[in-house]
Amino acid sequence: MRTISVSAVTEAVRKACGEMAFFYSPDILERMEEGRKNECGERSRTAMDMLLKNAAIAREERIPICQDTGLVTVWIHAGQEISFTGGSLKEAVQEGVRKGYAENYLRASVVKDPLYERVNTRDNTPAVIYFDITEGDQLVIELTAKGFGSENMSRQKMLKPSEGEQGVKNFVLETIRLAGPNACPPMIVGVGLGGTFDYSAVLAKHALLRDLSRPNPDARYAKLEEELKTAANQLMIGPMGLHGNTTVLGIRIETAPTHIAGMPCAVNICCHACRHREIRL
């Protein structure tokens, strides 16, 4: 049995919250620079220039890339041979978020109740936490801090199995088109296919964590990711929605076995500031 103090989890989450807010993942930045070269319109070029300059200012001056520093989602993949000591693991994650947001001057963007009592909780908690018990004694923590400009443009549909690949393509592209300028393009698009109504959405969100240089390990889905990316860029929504060639930086698909009667499909739209980190303890 391996023992891990929950304070180590707090510390890791705290550190990741700050890093995510100030530093683009290198894979995203690389795609942004490529995108900049592909823009010849005056407005779309200005938009890409601003985004790249913004990335540099954020990094050098530690000013958040975007004022919407997001709602934190955490996946805890904990080996079943780990014993957590020193308090509540859930609370340790929340404390990490609380500390990370306060000390880095990040925005508190969470309200207590969605409908009746939209009062800010003041410390950006609670984060959404998913627990996954794995074999062995390794602890892997994945985090994302997603902004809601793009989250609001996400959709789910229970496709019929007969709709096949074309049905998936139509729904993903329709969602990107409807997101348009609201989702702060260039976007990164997570697609969750299979599972259940709810699980497809979790898959879609988790897909956003995968590095843009790593295609889907299944060649069929890797091809679908590329085809969707090409088709999405042909929509010409462009940076900032100002008409241009760079509409999406990447499309990531995650799948799961599903029911004989269904093909759940969730599309989680993310802006270019797709904040995510992976920690191994």
Partner 1 sequence: MKKLTLPMDDETRTSLKAGESVLLSGTVYTARDAAHKRLVHMLECEEPLPVDLNNAAVYYVGPTPAAPGHAIGSAGPTTSSRMDAYTPVLLDEGLRVMIGKGRRSEAVKEAIQKHGAVYFVACGGAGALLSHCITESQPVAFDDLLAEAIVRLTLKDFPCFVGIDAQGNDIYDLEDTPVSETGKM
Q: Which residues bind partner 1 (CB under 8 A)?
A: 37-47, 50-51, 53-54, 57-58, 61-69, 105-109, 118, 120, 122, 149, 152, 180-182, 184, 240-244, 271-273
Indicate the helix (H) or strand (E) that contains 47.
helix 42-61
Q: Compute the least distance from the CB of residue 180 to partner 1, in Å.
A: 7
Closest to partner 1 by CB, 77 vs 243, is 243
Burial of 152 (0-12, 13-18, 19+ CB in 10 A): exposed
What are the structure tokens assigned to 190, written together? 């997570």
Provide, rounded to whole angstroms, the least separation between the CB of residue 5 and partner 1: 30
CA distances (Å), 13 to each of 26, 90, 122, in order?
20, 12, 18
In angstroms, give the least distance from the CB of 65 to partner 1.
Answer: 6
Distance CA 21, CA 261 (A): 41
Min dist CB 148 to partner 1, Å, is 8
Q: Between residues 39 and 95, which has the closer beta carbon with respect to partner 1?
A: 39
- The candidate with the shortest Cα–Cα distance to 197, out of 132, 258, 270, is 258
Nearest distance from C-beta of residue 155 to partner 1, angstroms = 16
Burial of residue 116, with CB atoms counted within 10 A of its CB: 0-12 exposed, 13-18 middle, 19 or more buried = exposed
Between residues 43 and 155, which has the closer beta carbon with respect to partner 1?
43
Identify which of residues 88 and 152 has a Cβ nearer to partner 1 in the complex.
Answer: 152
* Closer residue to partner 1, CB minimum distance, 69 or 94: 69
